[in-house]
Amino acid sequence: MSHPELLEPFPDSEEMEISFGPQHPATHGVLRVQLRLDGERIVDAQPVIGYLHRGTEKIFERETYNGAIPHTDRLDYTAAATANQGLVGAVEKMMGVTVPPRAAYIRMMLAELQRIASHIIWLGTHALDIGAQSPFFYTFEEREKILDLFEEYCGARLTLNSMRVGGLPFDLPEGWTERCRTFIDQLPARIAEWERLLTKNRIWRLRTVGIGVISIADAVEWGLTGPPLRGSGLRWDIRKVFPYDRYDEIDFEIPTGEHGDTYDRYLVRMEEMRQSVRIIRQCLDALPDGPVMAKVPKVIRPPLGEAYFSVEGPKGELGYYVVADGSTNPYRLHVRPSCFINLQALPELVRGHLVADLIAVIGTLDIVLGEIDR
Amino acid sequence: MAEQEPVTPPAPAVPKPPWEEKPVPPAPVEARTHAQVVEILNLLPDAVLGAVEFAGQITVAVPHERILEVCRVCKGALGYTFLVDLTAVDWKERPEGRFDVVYWLHRFTDSRRLRLKVRVADGVEVASVTTVWKTANWMEREVFDMFGVYFADHPNLERILTWEGFNGHPLRKDFPLEGIDTGAAIYPDVFPSGGGPVAGGEGE
């Protein structure tokens, strides 16, 4: 830890146990943190989860493979497209399906739009938690436009159900690419506007620099993925390491931080949004013609076996472990939830900090309780 | 009968793109000679019960008494520093051990992944790997909560997604899908007749 001396209780201290949440707006859902406090200092913070447990993995066993896709929307309900992408990718891997290039490109566009939308929610609420109110209003305006694009594509704004095993249920509607291009052309200016509000803001830096520091070695030990891992400085991204869809044909960078603190994770996510814009622009330029659905059997029936497939979700590595018994229903379908595993490191990140910093750290881990509790 | 028209020879077949072909599912391949398995065999020759490659992923079966030792070697000598996932599968009917506990490891140096698998009977403890990877803590708690697999020497083996005192392990195959009566019903089973306001009624 960065402040070992703070762990020593003062001789005349009276430690308190306080339950933070589960009904607290700054916990981003129904998260409860059992705090042990010495005055304002956090001695220990243990997350208590499970308030949103719906038994999704049990429900998966009842559904067919395509029928399980709507349930993945409800895991990380701020990033449904990437959750869809992971499940269909896992089943396609087990069946040996090659997705048509047009479908792969549209999937990448949806996933990157979703990444921007998810990072926008993170930025707005994270800034709101720390005390900067105005970014919330600016950011959510852009998110509306992304949700409009989703609505135009598949009719839904949040629970998209936008992919199928073998490709996509629909082709893009008329004029979608032009509207998408209009959106991404104006987005970098808006990102710069948000950064002007925060990046050099003195209060923002006081609240985020040096808060929730974690080294690369510790981050790997705790299994962190996504921006929390890259913020510590490890250049690691599933899109580059195990490219899925057509990410190997796209040119983009993986931003990393140096210090592993809340401020660096903020910078990493801001840069990720710009890289997503870059990916979408390349996809629009190179969007091939052709079918959006591969020739897959009507009844999806993967062979006996098991496979793990993961995508780089906005929050980290989102993986699906499929065990098939040769029938039309998954025998076991396990989700490797990125938020669940990232949240586990919370006690490490906040020990010795002030209570107010706990809010900043919960925000910077970018958790969604739907995915944690499943 | 009219004279038959000359039959034109069929055009040379253009190879169809892979997405128009019928998909060919991968088949399991014996993988004892695969480089990733040979590494383990060199260090722990008697700890590998079997090795299979399926869809490009290596699965190594390990006796459950030796999982901690194998994990230590995998992390220390072989460099699998990252535990990606830990879960379990319930094979209810299998006589030689009901559960598979599955470990999914990652190595950063060459980006390779390895699946370890142990087979345990109901009620048999598996050694906890929290001393090897700290991240295994919550994953093992989840497996305990969902399957009732016990992990020996786990620092805090409590339920994590369901609540303390919950009766049963939901992801076992014999747990009913519709759930069990936990005594925590929010709504009454039968609503009293005549209750509530009636459209056009006087009200009370």
> Average per-residue pLDDT in chain B?
83
Quick check: A31 and A369 in contact, CB under 8 A?
Answer: yes
Quick check: A97 and A294 in contact, CB under 8 A?
Answer: yes
Q: A374, A17, A255, A5: which is closest to B142 by C-alpha? A: A374
Residue extents of the structural domains in chain B: 27-152
**Least confident residue range of A90-104, A135-149, B106-120, B165-179:** B165-179
Span A9-36, mean pLDDT? 78
**Alpha-carbon gap, residue A5 to A3, rounded angstroms:** 5
CA distance A309 to chain B (A): 10
Which residues of B fall within a CB distance of 8 Å from A96?
23-26
Nearest to B135 among A222, A306, A319 (CB): A222
List the 114-133 stretch of B: residues with Cβ below 8 A of A.
Answer: 115, 133
CA distance B193 to chain A (A): 31
B19 alpha carbon, distance to own chain's centre: 29
Which residues of A fall within a CB distance of 8 Å from B17?
98, 100
pLDDT of residue A148: 92
Sheet of B99-107, strand order: B29-30, B50-54, B57-62, B112-120, B99-107, B82-90
* Range A56-373: architecture per CATH: Orthogonal Bundle (1.10)
CA distance B162 to chain A (A): 6
Best probe of the B interface among A225, A295, A349, by most B CBs < 10 A, is A295
Is 70 exceeded by the pLDDT of residue A161?
Answer: yes
pLDDT of residue A299: 86
Best probe of the B interface among A296, A308, A329, by most B CBs < 10 A, is A308
Query: pLDDT higher for A269 or A26?
Result: A269
Q: Which two tokens stand for residue A200?
A: 């050099």
| Closest residue on chain B to A91 (Cα) | B25
Which residues of A fall within a CB distance of 8 Å from B28?
305
**Alpha-carbon gap, residue B110 to A207, rounded angstroms:** 38
Provide the pLDDT confidence category of residue B176 given band limits of 50, 70 and 90: confident
State whether A96 and B111 contact (CB < 8 Å). no
Q: A347, A345, A358, A297: which is closest to A94 by C-alpha? A: A297
pLDDT of residue B200: 63
Residue extents of the structural domains in chain A: 56-373
**Alpha-carbon gap, residue A163 to A223, rounded angstroms:** 28
Span A344-352, mean pLDDT? 89
Quick check: A353 and A212 in contact, CB under 8 A?
Answer: yes
| Closest residue on chain B to A103 (Cα) | B19
Which residues of B fall within a CB distance of 8 Å from A340?
138, 142
Nearest to A296 among B23, B111, B159 (CB): B23
Nearest to B81 among A94, A220, A336 (CB): A220
| Closest residue on chain B to A322 (Cα) | B89
CA distance A275 to chain B (A): 23
Query: How many inter-chain contacts (A to B, CB under 8 Å) are there?
Result: 123
Pairing state of beta strands B112-120 and B99-107? Answer: antiparallel
Burial class of A59 by CB neighbour count within 10 A (0 to 12, 13 to 18, 19+): middle
CA distance A193 to chain B (A): 37
Quick check: A41 and A127 in contact, CB under 8 A?
Answer: no
List the 169-188 stretch of B: residues with Cβ below 8 A of A.
Answer: 170-171, 175, 177, 179
pTM over 0.90: no
| Closest residue on chain A to B163 (Cα) | A50
Which residues of B fall within a CB distance of 8 Å from A334?
85, 87
Nearest to B160 among A49, A305, A317 (CB): A49
CA distance A89 to chain B (A): 12
State whether A303 and B26 contact (CB < 8 Å). yes
Q: In this structure, which topology does domain B27-152 adopt according to CATH? A: Beta Polymerase; domain 2 (3.30.460)
Q: A295, A95, A326, A298: which is closest to B24 by C-alpha? A: A95
Omega within 30 of 0 (cis) for the link into A22: yes
pLDDT of residue A14: 77
Nearest to B55 among A241, A305, A341 (CB): A305
Q: How large a percentage of chain A has pLDDT more than 70?
A: 97
> Average per-residue pLDDT in chain A?
88
Tokens 């989700």, residue located: A335
Quick check: A307 and A94 in contact, CB under 8 A?
Answer: yes
| 3-state SS class at B66 | helix
**Alpha-carbon gap, residue A89 to A115, rounded angstroms:** 17
pLDDT of residue A334: 92
Provide the pLDDT confidence category of residue B25 given band limits of 50, 70 and 90: confident
| 3-state SS class at B118 | strand
pLDDT of residue B21: 80
Q: How large a percentage of chain A has pLDDT more than 90?
A: 35
pLDDT of residue B204: 47
- Helix locations, B16-122, DSSP H: 35-43, 67-76
Query: pLDDT higher for A215 or A28?
Result: A215
Provide the pLDDT confidence category of residue B43 given band limits of 50, 70 and 90: confident
SS (H, E, C) chain A: CCCHHHHCCCCCCCCEEEEECCCEHHHCECCEEEEEEECCEEEEEEEECCCCCCCHHHHHHHCCCHHHHHHHHCCCCCCHHHHHHHHHHHHHHHHCCCCCHHHHHHHHHHHHHHHHHHHHHHHHHHHHHHCCCHHHHHHHHHHHHHHHHHHHHHCCCCCCCCCECCECCCCCCCCHHHHHHHHHHHHHHHHHHHHHHHCCCHHHHHHHCCCCCCCHHHHHHCCCCCHHHHHCCCCCCHHHHCCCCCHHHCCCCCCCCCCCCHHHHHHHHHHHHHHHHHHHHHHHHHCCCCCCECCCCCCCCCCCEEEEEEEEECCEEEEEEEEECCCCCCCEEEEECHHHHHHCCHHHHHCCCEHHHHHHHHHHHCCCHHHHHC
State whether A58 and B177 contact (CB < 8 Å). yes
**Alpha-carbon gap, residue A212 to A363, rounded angstroms:** 11
Provide the pLDDT confidence category of residue A1 given band limits of 50, 70 and 90: very low
Span B75-79, mean pLDDT? 88
Is 70 exceeded by the pLDDT of residue B12?
Answer: no
Q: A303, A329, A300: which is closest to B27 by C-alpha? A: A303
State whether B26 and A296 contact (CB < 8 Å). no
List the 34-53 stretch of B: residues with Cβ below 8 A of A.
Answer: none
State whether B23 and A97 contact (CB < 8 Å). yes
